[in-house]
Amino acid sequence: MASIRRIRRILATETAFSLWQLETFGRLGGNPLGIAWRQLDQGAVAVLARRQPGPTHNRVMGLRGDLIAEIEPLLAWYAEAGIKPRLETISTYHDPALAAELVRRGYFQSGFQVVLVAPAIVSADDAAAGAVEEVASAEQLAAFLQVYGWPALAASEAPLEAAVTAGTRGVSLYLGRGGGRPAAAGLFVKDGIGVLSPALGAAIKAGSGLEAGLLARRLAAARAAGAEWVCTEADLMSPRQISLTRIGFTAAFIRAQWTSL
């Protein structure tokens, strides 16, 4: 397992990436999902999307025992929007009092993810990396957003044009195709840590050439940006976790997903 210091750096970088996504995509198209958020601290953030009730866009990330007092106002905030959020805790900060409070409020552990970490020098099969393109136009960004489930947006909108300059802030986005179907993945580098968002798309399969190409392209970009370590997440004991472990990734911590009854 990773050291506490490295885990704190990972959480801070994940939070910063989440905030970039919220700030950037929340401005696109007049914020059609009704996105809002509350940053609890450097390693914890609550996300709400009033017109997208699923857990992907309505969750509290990085909940810890010292944040128990935040639970009541957060749940009231979500309730006002008519949404039941998913609450996420991590194994490193296991706290019996926090678990007891979540159970008291009717929450149970409905899923688990593992956050995996590797030195940025780890290598992946780059045979398919040449078919992966970095997002550099509004049209590419519109395609990227569609893969990630965001509303289709006109490629001519000014906010889209501004968003594709994100690489100057440590963000780079990538598109690939497998069997004519698109796939997308992102990279965020900050303070020596690179966060690799899971690749999404109908053509993505764990260990596939397309996923390997997206991974190889982002690992090279992370190294070029000065990252010492890279991290990503996978469902616990999933084929993706297994394929990443085979090339040198190791478990840093487990993220538990709590859902209300």
Q: What is the pLDDT of residue 165?
A: 59
Query: Which of 106-110, 125-129, 179-183 is the most confident on average?
Result: 106-110
CATH 3.40.630.30 domain locations along the chain = 119-253
- Among 226, 24, 17, 258, smallest CA distance to 121 is for 226
- DSSP code for 232: E
Is the pLDDT at 189 greater than 60, yes or no? yes
Q: What is the pLDDT of residue 180?
A: 73
What is the average pLDDT score of the chain?
87
The pLDDT confidence band at residue 142, using thresholds 50, 70 and 90, is: confident
- C-alpha 1/C-alpha 8 separation (Å) is 13
Q: What is the mean pLDDT of residues 93-116?
A: 97
Buried-state track 56-69, b at ≥16 Cβ within 10 A, e below 16: ebbbbbbbbeebee
Q: What is the mean pLDDT of residues 203-210?
A: 67
* Residue in the block written with tokens 């914890």: 44
- C-alpha 253/C-alpha 93 separation (Å) is 10
DSSP bridge partners of 186? 173
CATH superfamily ID and name for 119-253: Gcn5-related N-acetyltransferase (GNAT) (3.40.630.30)
pTM (predicted TM-score): 0.89
Is the pLDDT at 1 greater than 70, yes or no? no
Token pair in block for residue 137 = 């136009």
Q: What is the pLDDT of residue 155?
A: 46
Q: What is the pLDDT of residue 199?
A: 86
**Quick check: 98 and 65 in contact, CB under 8 A?**
yes
- DSSP code for 30: G
Q: What is the pLDDT of residue 166?
A: 54
